[in-house]
Chain A
Amino acid sequence: MERPLRLPAAVAAALHVSLAGLLAAAVLAIFVFAPTEETMGLTLRILYLHVSVAWAGLACFLLVAGAGALYLLRRDLRWDHWAAAAAEVGWLCSTLTLITGSLWAHAAWNTWWTWDPRLTATAVLWAVYCAYLILRSGLEDPHRRARAGAVLAVIGLIDLPMVAMATRWFRGIHPPSPQMEPAMRLALLLSALAFTGLFGLLVACRRRQLQLQEMLLRLEQDSDV
């Protein structure tokens, strides 16, 4: 039975301290150093959170599909643990993307929702995450669960270019990458890095838990025998 991967304590502590520093820097950049935009005012600061969680949601789905594909190739449940952990965190990011986007839309366009191509593709991604999690929760056998999830994730990958490129391929209300002042660009970069680090840490913690759960299940089965 393989031991769960664990970083040396000093490396883990250094990573945690760096992440805390990055998050603090991002909060300062978003709320103190980034200039207030003239038209949207303070509401524009939602952008730093919205773009960061949207990016993290996409990155998590890439991980879900990538780990799923590796599971299908190698039949190793460790890849499925990565996929399952990334799907939970990705669902969280995707939900936050829709909520923060909706709040932004209400302030900017005076509507909570519109069937813009980017918004629709993002809603489809959220639905794929939901389907993935519901499908997994309905299957008991770990390998059957991993296989079904991996197939769904690989199929769901079709939606990713739609989310990323919708503003270039189709005409809609959602703006493509806007022109920004350097200070705003820096705040956006810092927040994207900080949120990616935070969600990456959550994925790593959850993956370790899933691996421990599987090891415990095997121990319980062995002790029953």
Chain B
Amino acid sequence: METLIAAYLVALVAIVLYVARLGAEQQRIRRTLESLQSQHENADSAGPPASKAA
């Protein structure tokens, strides 16, 4: 019985840990995307570069 529980518990923990890793990676991607978006918006609001404006 202990062996059976150990086998299924190991599988469950391994899968949960991998899904948690995927979740953490997804969060990181979202943060990077948001920072890129805000950089882009700041660049837009700053107006065209001086050389082009001239």
List the interface of chain A (C-beta within 8 A of B).
Answer: 42-43, 45-46, 49-50, 53, 88-89, 92, 95-96, 99-100, 103-104, 106-107, 198, 202, 205-206, 209, 212-213, 216, 219-220, 223
Contact = CB atoms under 8 A, between A and B. Distances in A.
B46 interface: no
Given A43-B4, A46-B4, A209-B25, 12 more contacts: A42-B1, A45-B4, A49-B7, A49-B11, A50-B7, A99-B7, A106-B3, A202-B15, A202-B19, A209-B29, A216-B36, A220-B32
Given A198-B15, A206-B22, A96 B10 contact: yes
Contacts of A43: 1, 3-4
Interface in B20-45: 22, 25-26, 29, 32-33, 36, 39-40
Chain B interface category by residue count: 20 to 34
B53 interface: no
**A interface, over-half SS:** helix
Contact of B14 (A92, A107, A205): A92
B6 A219 contact: no
Contacts of A198: 15
B22 A46 contact: no
Given A202-B19, A206-B22, A223-B36, A46 B7 contact: yes
A107 B3 contact: yes
A103 B40 contact: no
B42 to A, nearest CB: 11
A221 B3 CA distance: 51
A198 B19 CA distance: 11
A99 B10 contact: yes
Contacts of B19: 202
B8 to A, nearest CB: 6
